[in-house]
Amino acid sequence: MSKKKPVDLFGDDASAKPQNDFDALLNSSGVRAARSLSPGDRFRGEVLAVSGQEAFISTGTPTDAVMPFAVGPNGEKPKAGDQLEVTVIRVREGEILVREVGGRGGVGVEADSLEDAFDMELPVEGLVTEAIKGGFRVKVQGVSAFCPISQIDRRCDNPADYVGRKFEFIVTKFDKGRDLVVSRRKILDQEQALAEGDFQDKAQIGEIFTGEIFRIEKYGAFVRLEGGGIEGLIPISEMSFSRIRHPQEVVNLGEKVQVKLMAIKEDEGRMKISFSLKEGGGVDDPWENLESSYPVGTVVDGTVENKEAFGIFVRVAVGVTGLLPRSAWRDSVDGKEYENKHRGDAIKVRVAFVDLAQRKLTLGLPGLDDDDQSWRTHQTAAAATAGKSFGTLGDLLKGAKGK
């Protein structure tokens, strides 16, 4: 006789394991687990409701986001059910403020007052009227505000360049209108974070881009790509096929360049992008036509680039450096002349061997051909002479032993 299964008050199987795991219930319902959001985060959410000029966006967390928006010229505005790509502007006191990516959320919204702009971190338009000590005086909605010099741009070399121009600012300090501080840098950083996120998703290592040199340092040059505002570093080692001492030997500020994407890395929350100028196609590779330009046996005038115990490195052309081994001139009658060569000295050499695969160039002394085997004849003659002398001595010893 089979044992009856226990049932509950509703007639269901009471022996079944109760599903009291909240995560399991959440997963089975298809609802995303709550996650924390921070300024700069980007996500796609559904418009839950619209009230006035504010839309309420689902975030996948217990707290919905608020997105202020501007009504379009033809009355366009978000509606319930729309799926929007948004970025987080502020998370404060249980409120999440977002802005639509490239759309209506935030930018272009005119706040009723500067206090509203401060509370909601909405951008406001301001006119830079004067450069003063430590920053700028900015006129915002008829009120004079202060923008620290560090907050006008990512880098400010000439404050006069900003006077008389209009920009969008974020109000960072508001004290009943008596103390008003604004920042343009905050908006730039938000835009940069969005641009870098898109770039990281879409760009491919090895892809070619066009940009402009906007900053030069001893270790390389910084390039700003066209269209997206993406900035990256061209290390000095990636600027030329030849050794250079300073990037200014190759590029100038404001110069348009073609670069190749080499790497994208994140370091302490910041994206670091590196490019190569010499691999970008805008710089000719001198090794491509080296065999035709400098066939084996060609005598060329070079310059001593470096001197080591094993030989002398000689630059024979822009981007092409070869090695003159010490063994090539050690026993030469002109050996002392080569021994006394220093960096920058002129030197005449002969192309002895070209290895394109390894980008290696071996040099020799002018006047000695690779086909010249006279040294072998001399060596053979010397050996023969030595053998004859040894044989004669052996015969003498043999004769002495016989006696």
Report, as an integer, the average pLDDT of 29-55. 71
Q: Which of residues 131, 164, 189 is at a domain's end?
A: 189
Q: What is the pLDDT of residue 241?
A: 78
Nearest to 59, CA basis, from 33, 29, 26, 24 = 33
Q: Is residue 399 part of a domain?
A: no
Q: Is residue 284 part of a domain?
A: no
Q: Is residue 50 part of a domain?
A: yes
Q: What is the pLDDT of residue 402?
A: 52
Asked if residue 343 and residue 309 are part of one domain, the reply reads yes
Asked if residue 118 and residue 96 are part of one domain, the reply reads no
Q: Which of residues 59, 76, 100 is at a domain's end?
A: 100
Asked if residue 121 and residue 78 are part of one domain, the reply reads no
**CB-based burial of residue 77 (10 Å sphere; 0-12 exposed, 13-18 middle, 19+ buried)?**
middle
Asked if residue 332 and residue 295 are part of one domain, the reply reads yes
Give the domain extent around 259: 203-276
Whether the predicted pLDDT of 376 surpasses 80: no
- Give the span between the Cα atoms of 126 and 117, in whole angstroms: 13
Total Cβ atoms within 10 A of residue 332: 13
Asked if residue 136 and residue 71 are part of one domain, the reply reads no
Asked if residue 252 and residue 302 are part of one domain, the reply reads no
Whether the predicted pLDDT of 189 surpasses 60: yes
The CATH number of the domain holding residue 67 is 2.40.50.140
- Give the span between the Cα atoms of 295 and 316, in whole angstroms: 13
Asked if residue 226 and residue 250 are part of one domain, the reply reads yes
Tell me which DSSP letter residue 371 carries.
T
Q: Is residue 369 part of a domain?
A: no
Q: Is residue 178 part of a domain?
A: yes
Q: Is residue 197 part of a domain?
A: no
Asked if residue 134 and residue 165 are part of one domain, the reply reads yes
- Give the span between the Cα atoms of 42 and 89, in whole angstroms: 10
Write down the pTM of the prediction: 0.50
Q: Which of residues 226, 243, 276 is at a domain's end?
A: 276
Residue 78 CB partners (closer than 8 Å, separation 6+):
47, 50, 55, 67, 69, 84, 100, 104
Q: Is residue 137 part of a domain?
A: yes
Among 117-131, 134-148, 366-380, name the one with the lowest average pLDDT: 366-380
User: How many separate domains does the chain show?
Assistant: 4
Asked if residue 359 and residue 295 are part of one domain, the reply reads yes
- Give strand ranges (E) for 240-336: 256-267, 270-276, 299-308, 311-317, 320-325
Among 64-78, 120-134, 238-252, name the one with the lowest average pLDDT: 64-78
Total Cβ atoms within 10 A of residue 381: 10
**CB-based burial of residue 363 (10 Å sphere; 0-12 exposed, 13-18 middle, 19+ buried)?**
buried
Total Cβ atoms within 10 A of residue 261: 22
Q: Is residue 198 part of a domain?
A: no
Whether the predicted pLDDT of 100 surpasses 70: yes
Strands 83-92 and 54-57, how do they pair?
unpaired
- Give the span between the Cα atoms of 317 and 298, in whole angstroms: 13
Whether the predicted pLDDT of 307 surpasses 90: no
